[in-house]
Amino acid sequence: MKKFFPISIASVLIGVYLVLSLVVFPSFYLSKEIPNPQPYFDVKISNLSILLGESFDVNIFSKNIGEYGDIHILSIGFPSLDKITDEIKLNNSDFNHQYNFIEKNTLVGSNYTAGDQKVETQYALIEVMNRPSPPNGSYDFQFSVTPKNTGLYEIYVKAIEIPHTSNLSHFPHQGMLDPQSEYVEVYSVIVNP
């Protein structure tokens, strides 16, 4: 009996450990809600009508109005461009990561899957991100555009938070779908001859 007592105690302790590690803690942590970050942005354009050869400024104030997020992504699309040229001049970025210029026909993530499903871009994009994305974190992104053609100059803007846990994890929540099957806000400036 004396011989088996210590090994019995050891077995009980290992049993307790396994119950805690495999049952109690997993159920406890899995019952907790996953953070729900929510992006939002406000766009200010200096002139909604310009003459060819003139420039207009775009200021985007992007923020996380929800809970803690891992990544805050701002994407700006230029449907009239195949790649970002000297037509676009970047003035300021508060994001903690370097912006990326993405050319037409580049594989990018779609359907809010953060790269799990990919499609080819149909036009040039600027993507910039902040990692991590704390609650109330706000970031400015400013650039100027000098269009090279007359007509309607459009810019598509969207923001996504990772993890993408609900419809509130992207902004806008509705409207036009871009080629990545993600909602975008459309802004336009008339370029007169």
Partner 1 sequence: MELDSKPIIQKSRRVFLLGNLLMSLGILLVTVGGSWDITNHVLNKPESFVSIPHGVMYSGVAMSLIGTVISFAIWHKIENKKSLKISLKLGVIGIIVLIGAGPIDFFWHSTFGLDGLLSPPHMSLIFGMILTSVGGMVGLVRYHVISKSKISKFLIIVGLLPIWLASSGLISSLSLPFSNTDFFNFNPEPVTALMVATLCYPFLISLILISASRLSKNKFGIISLTGGLFLAIYGSTAILPNVTMSETILFYSTNLIPLIVSDYIISKLNYKHAKYIGAGILGSTFYMFYYPYIMYTYNEVLLGKLVSPSLIYSIYFELIIQVFLITLIPAIIAAFAGCYFSKRVSDKIENL
Out of 79, 151, 163, 179, which residue is the one contacting partner 1 (CB under 8 A)? 163
Q: Is residue 2 at the binding interface for partner 1, with CB under 8 A as the rule?
A: no
113 binds partner 1 (CB under 8 A): yes
| Residue 1 touching partner 1 (CB under 8 A) | no
115/175 with CB nearer partner 1: 115
User: CA–CA distance from 13 to each of 7, 54, 158 (Å)?
Assistant: 10, 76, 53
By DSSP bridging, strand 71-78 and strand 124-130 are antiparallel
Q: Does 101 bind partner 1 (CB under 8 A)?
A: no
Does 14 interact with partner 1 (rule: CB under 8 A)?
A: yes
Rounded to whole angstroms, the Cα distance separating 111 from 117 reads 7
For residue 132, the 8-state DSSP code is S
Taking CB under 8 A as the rule, does residue 35 contact partner 1?
Answer: yes
The SS3 of residue 183 is strand
Total of chain residues touching partner 1, rule CB under 8 A: 31
How far does CA 47 lie from the centroid of its chain? 27
* Cα 44 to Cα 90: distance, rounded to the nearest angstrom: 15
Interface contacts to partner 1, rule CB under 8 A? 6-7, 10, 13-14, 16-17, 20-22, 25-26, 29-30, 34-35, 68-71, 96-98, 113-116, 131-132, 162-163
